[in-house]
Amino acid sequence: MSARTLPRVTFDTKQVNSDDRFETWRGILGVTHEIGSDVQNFHASLTSTNLGAMMASEMSASPQSVARSPQRVKSDGLDHIVLHLTSSDFDVEMGDARFHVPAGAITVNTLSRPFRRHAAPESGSLILSLSRELVASTLPDPEVFHGTVLRGGFGHLVAEHMRMVVQSAHLLTASEADGLSRATAHILAAALEPTRHQIAKARAGLETAAVVRCKRYIELNLTSPSLTTEAICHNVGISRATLFRLFKADGGVHSYIQAYRLRAARRTLAAAERRSITDVAHLYGFTNIAAFSRAFKLKYGISPKDAADHHRYRHDEDENVFNSIFDAVTSLK
C-alpha cells in the first residue's frame, strides 16, 4: 500500500453566486492580503497544496491589486516568504520606491514588509509560500531580499522548479514534501546569494527534487509495461545520464525498479486474496516466470510459492516487520 499523498484544495468563484464572487474571493485571500478589483464580472480560481513548511498554489483571476499595508503587517505578524511567478506585467510600490515587473519574472516578498502591487490579471500564476524558518535555514536574513525580482539565469531555474512543485505537490507524501521544501529553500538561497557554497547546495537540492519525481513516477507506474528509462526521462524532464547518476547509490535505475517490484510482488503473494504466481509476476512486469522465481529467491531466500502460503505468513512476526519497513521506506522517496 502506498503512503498517503497530500490533499489538493481547489476553489473557483463559479461555485458561488455571481453577486458574491468578489467578496468570497476577498474573504479567502484577505487572510494574508488586501485585495482590490472591479466586482463586475469578477472571476478567480485557486488550487493549493500544503507541504508543511511550504504552500504551492496556482492562481487565475480578473485584474486585481494585492497589498500588505503597514497596519496589516503590524497587526497579523506574518513573516512568510512568497515567490510569485507572474503571468502579466505589473507595477509594485514599496515605500517610496516603484518598479515594474515583467511577465514571466519572479518576485520575492516577505509578509513582514509592506508593499502594493497594482491591478493586473492572473492567468495560471504560480505561488510558493515558504515559512521564514525554512528560508532562514539557508538565508539568515531573508527580509533583505524583499522586493527582489528574479529573471534570466537563476530566474529561469527557479521558475522551472516552481512549475514542477506546483504540478507535482499533490502526488507527494508528507516526508517527500519535507525534503522538497528544504530543497526549494536551497535553490532560492542560491538564486539570491549565488556563492559557490550556495550553488553547490542548490545542485544537491535540484537532484533531491529530481529523485523524488523519478521515484514517485516509478511507484505510480509500477505495473505499467511502458515503465522504461525513456519514459521516466521524458516525464520527469531529465537526461539518461542524469537518471543513471541519480540512481547510482541504488545500484542503478533498473535494479531499483526490480527491487521495488519484487517487494510489491511479495506483499501481493502474502495477501489474503490468493493470486497465482504467474499473475503476480506478470502484474509487476516479469514476463519470464523462471527469471522471476530466481530473482525472488535471491532477494528473499524463499520461493514465490512459499511466499504465497498465506497461512504461513499471515501471523508471521517477521512478515509484519517487513510490511512496516516497506511502508516506511516507500514513503521516503
Per residue in 310-327, pLDDT (tens digit) is: 434 443 433 443 344 334
Instruction: Tell me the three cell numbers of residue 160.
Output: 522551472
Range of the domain at 197: 8-220
* Residue 323, CB-side half-sphere exposure with 13 Å CA sphere: 14
Q: Which residues partner with 46 through β-bridges?
A: 11, 59
In a domain, 172, yes or no: yes
Q: Please report whether residue 97 resides in a domain.
A: yes
- pTM strictly above 0.75: no
DSSP three-state, residue 116: strand
Q: Which residue has the cell 535553490?
A: 187
Q: Could you read off the pLDDT tens digit of each residue along the chain, which spans 333 residues?
A: 346 778 899 999 999 999 999 999 999 998 899 999 999 999 999 999 999 999 999 999 999 999 999 888 887 888 999 999 988 999 999 988 899 999 999 999 999 999 999 999 999 999 999 999 999 999 888 888 999 999 888 888 899 999 999 988 988 888 889 999 999 999 999 898 876 666 677 777 777 778 888 888 898 899 988 899 999 988 887 888 889 999 998 899 999 999 989 988 888 887 756 678 899 889 988 988 899 989 998 988 888 888 777 434 443 433 443 344 334 333 333
Residue 199 has what pLDDT?
63
Q: Return the bridge partners of 123, or none.
A: none
Which grid cell sits at 209? Answer: 527534487
Rounded Cα distance between 65 and 36, Å, is: 5
In a domain, 96, yes or no: yes
Q: Which uninterrupted H or E stretch holds 49?
A: strand 44-50
Q: Return the pLDDT at 45.
A: 96
In a domain, 314, yes or no: no
Domain CATH code at residue 138 = 2.60.120.10
DSSP assignment of 155-166 = HHHHHHHHHHHH
The tally of CA atoms less than 13 A away on the side-chain side of residue 115 is 24
Backbone torsion region of residue 301, taken as left when φ is above 0, otherwise alpha when ψ lies between -120 and 50, otherwise beta: left
Pair 137, 118: CB distance under 8 Å: no
Q: Looking at residue 5, what is its pLDDT?
A: 79
Q: Residue 137, exposed/middle/buried by CB under 10 A (0-12, 13-18, 19+)?
A: middle
Q: Which pLDDT value is given to residue 36?
A: 95
pLDDT at 3: 63
Spatial neighbors of 28 by CB under 8 A, at least 6 apart, are 11, 46
* 246 contacts 210 by C-beta, under 8 angstroms: yes
Neighbour count for residue 214 (Cβ, 10 Å): 22
Residue 262 domain flag:
no
Residue 168 inside a domain? The answer is: yes
Q: Does an H or E element contain 202, and which?
A: helix 196-220
Please name the residue that has the C-alpha cell 553547490.
200
Residue 231 lies in a domain: no
Residue 22: inside a domain, yes or no? yes
The total number of structural domains that make up the chain? 1
Please report the pLDDT score of residue 273 as a whole number: 67
For residue 153, count other CB atoms closer than 10 A to its CB: 10
